[in-house]
Amino acid sequence: MGVPGKDMADAKVKAWESAPPSPSPSTPSAEALSITGRPHLSWTQVSSYQQCPRAFAFKYVERAEADFIPSSLLFGSAMHEAFAKVHECDMEGLPCPSSAELAGKVSNLLNSSLLPVKYSKGESSETLHALGQRMVDAFLASPEARPEGQVVCVEDRTSGVIDPQIPPIEGKVDFVRLTKDGLVLRDYKTSRSRWNPDKVEESAPQLRLYATLLDRELDGWRRITAMEFVTVTKAVKPVVTTHAVAMRQESVQACIDQIGQVWDGIRKGVFPTRPGWPCRTCPYASRCPAAINPAGATDEP
Ligand code: SF4
């Protein structure tokens, strides 16, 4: 076979070229465009609505200005960029970036926010830079920095219609590689503690949905034959762990049903407040009469 990244890009271009150029006014896609300014729903939007519909409306419907960015969001994005850089170099046949180079990248991204950063208790800019360095070192020392197979795509988007009653779903794919058995889809997660099997299964629908979207988008070029989360803990000694995820079609259908319910709420303008632990890091709390102050909110489960 040729260069996998190019083959995959060609397969996607073919799919995009055969897609209608713009949504007709009565489609769910057009409705989503008129509500959120985007012709699709992303997994991030669906999760946001499920966590607090009112926060979803502030962000995606009213497009209100956020008061700050939570440090966990900024840090997670910076670490994803660092992991992606390692795989991009692999894809382009370049040497693996050094620990200093990657930690510098993380630091630059942490300093790049235009919004004020809201740190968690006991956290500061310095502690996050140091944590970034430790996590980069742990990742580079693990086999997950250079897993078996050829890199096919890094930080790419996949999208498609999974149900004609809901807008196309879009997701960001962290990493896909081609092994002798087929395509392996990977998603990175940074977390405070190690994941147990319950946490893996709780997060698995996202990966299964992305695999379904990719399979459809690639239209027979290759299939996703394995899925995995790679978690890196935000600890004094970060631990890198791979968690395999099995495909379960009923889980994909349950996920589609949930997205359908969320979409129904969005298109009907159902945006109730859902006060609780998310209020602690909600960038719209100053506008929200239901906001629970940090002392009153229970911890993230
Ligand atoms: S402050 Fe709490 S209830 Fe209000 S929008 Fe934010 S998360 Fe929802």
| pLDDT tens digits for range 47-67 | 999 999 999 999 999 999 999
Q: Report if residue 118 sits inside a domain.
A: no
Closest CA to 214 of 228, 203, 225, 229: 225
Which residue's C-alpha comes closest to atom 5 of ligand 1?
Answer: 55
Give tens-digit pLDDT for 271-292.
999 999 899 899 999 999 999 8
Please give the pLDDT value at position 21: 52
Binned at pLDDT 50, 70 and 90, residue 26 comes out as confident
Please give the pLDDT value at position 10: 59
Q: How far apart are the C-alpha atoms of 106 and 191, rounded to whole Å? A: 16
Please give the pLDDT value at position 249: 81
Q: Report if residue 101 sits inside a domain.
A: no
* Residue appearing with tokens 């208790």: 121
The token pair at 143 is: 């086999």
Structural domain that includes position 256: 4-63+149-267
CA of 290 relative to ligand 1 center, distance in Å = 6
Total domains in the chain come to 1
Examine the pLDDT at 13 and tell me if it is beyond 90: no
In what helix (H) or strand (E) does residue 233 lie, and over which residues does it extend?
A: strand 224-233
Which residue's C-alpha comes closest to atom 2 of ligand 1?
Answer: 279
284 Cβ below 6 A of ligand 1: yes
Q: How many CA atoms lie within 13 A of 111 on its CB side?
A: 8
CA of 41 relative to ligand 1 center, distance in Å = 21
Q: Report if residue 40 sits inside a domain.
A: yes
CA of 259 relative to ligand 1 center, distance in Å = 21
Q: Which CATH number is 24's domain given? A: 3.90.320
Examine the pLDDT at 294 and tell me if it is beyond 70: no
Closest CA to 50 of 260, 287, 251, 295: 260
Q: Report if residue 109 sits inside a domain.
A: no
Mean pLDDT, residues 18-31 taken together? 71
Please give the pLDDT value at position 144: 97
Please give the pLDDT value at position 25: 60
Examine the pLDDT at 259 and tell me if it is beyond 60: yes
Q: Report if residue 57 sits inside a domain.
A: yes
Q: Report if residue 91 sits inside a domain.
A: no
57 Cβ below 6 A of ligand 1: no
151 Cβ below 6 A of ligand 1: no
Examine the pLDDT at 83 and tell me if it is beyond 90: yes
Q: Report if residue 289 sits inside a domain.
A: no
Q: Report if residue 249 sits inside a domain.
A: yes
